[in-house]
């Protein structure tokens, strides 16, 4: 499975990418929305794990932009914030919504569930 991780916390996203790699996932990561879009232009991803709150473009907006590039891409939202607005928005986008910190096994389970046809 080819996964795109997008989070402005570089320490978090690169570590998570490495851990997923250990588990056999092909992972790219970006810390800015523009980088993520550039990666999506170049590669095909099955799933994107997006941070809800990022400087500039937020997770929901980035999801919309990525869907324009790859309409079959699945999404999981990951955020340290748990506001009512985030929860409602995340849930309504037919995507999974997880709050940090999350166990890697739980994340992988959700990823597999998301890409299940």
Partner 1 sequence: MSILNQFKPEFWHNSELSTGPFRQMFNYRRIWKIAVLLISLVTLLPLIFITSIDYNFTQKSIDSENLLRTLRIGSNAKRSISFFLSERISALSFVVRTNNLQELSQPENLGIILTNLRDSFNGFVDLGVIDQNGLQINYVGPYPLEGKDYRDQEWFKEIKKKGFYISEVFLGFRNVPHLIIAAKHSLPDGSFYILRAALDTNRFNELLSDFELSGRGDAFLINHAGVIQTPTLYHSQIFEKIPYSVPTYSTHTEIREEKNKAKEDLIICSAFIPDSPYILIIVKKKDDLMKSWRETRFKLIIFLVISISVILLVILGVSTYMVNSMYLLDQRRLSTLHQVEYSNKLASIGRLAAGVAHEINNPLAIINEKAGLIKDIITYTDTGPKNSRIVELIDSVLASVERCGKITKRLLGFARHIDSAIENVQLGNIITEVLGFLHKEAEYRNIAIKINVADNIPEFQSDRGKLQQIFLNIINNAFSAMSDGGCLDIRVWREGESDVVASITDNGCGMSEGDLGKIYEPFYSTKTKTGGTGLGLSITYGLIQELGGKIHVTSRLGAGTTFTITLPLKPANPAKQDS
| CA dist list (Å): 71 to 20, 66, 83, 107 | 23, 7, 28, 22
Distance (Å, rounded) from C-alpha 103 to C-alpha 1? 19
CB of 67 to partner 1, least distance (A): 25
Residue 108 binding partner 1, by CB under 8 A = no
Q: Which is nearer to partner 1, 38 or 88 (CB)?
A: 88
Q: Which is nearer to partner 1, 38 or 106 (CB)?
A: 106
Residue 92 binding partner 1, by CB under 8 A = no
CB of 91 to partner 1, least distance (A): 12
Residue 101 binding partner 1, by CB under 8 A = yes
Restricted to residues 53-82, the positions that interact with partner 1 (CB under 8 A) are 79-82
DSSP 72-110: T-EEEEEES---HHHHHHHHHTTSEEEESS--HHHHHHH
């Amino acid at each position: 499975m080819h996964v795109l991780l997008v989070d402005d916390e570089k320490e978090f996203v690169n570590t998570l990418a490495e851990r997923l790699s250990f588990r056999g996932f092909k992972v790219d990561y970006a810390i800015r929305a523009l980088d993520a879009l550039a990666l999506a232009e170049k590669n095909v991803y099955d799933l994107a794990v997006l941070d809800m709150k990022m400087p500039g473009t937020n997770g929901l907006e980035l999801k919309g932009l990525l869907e324009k590039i790859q309409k079959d891409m699945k999404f999981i939202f990951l955020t340290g914030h748990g506001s009512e607005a985030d929860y409602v928005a995340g849930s309504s986008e037919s995507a999974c919504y997880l709050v940090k910190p999350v166990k890697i096994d739980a994340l992988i389970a959700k990823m597999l569930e998301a890409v299940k046809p």
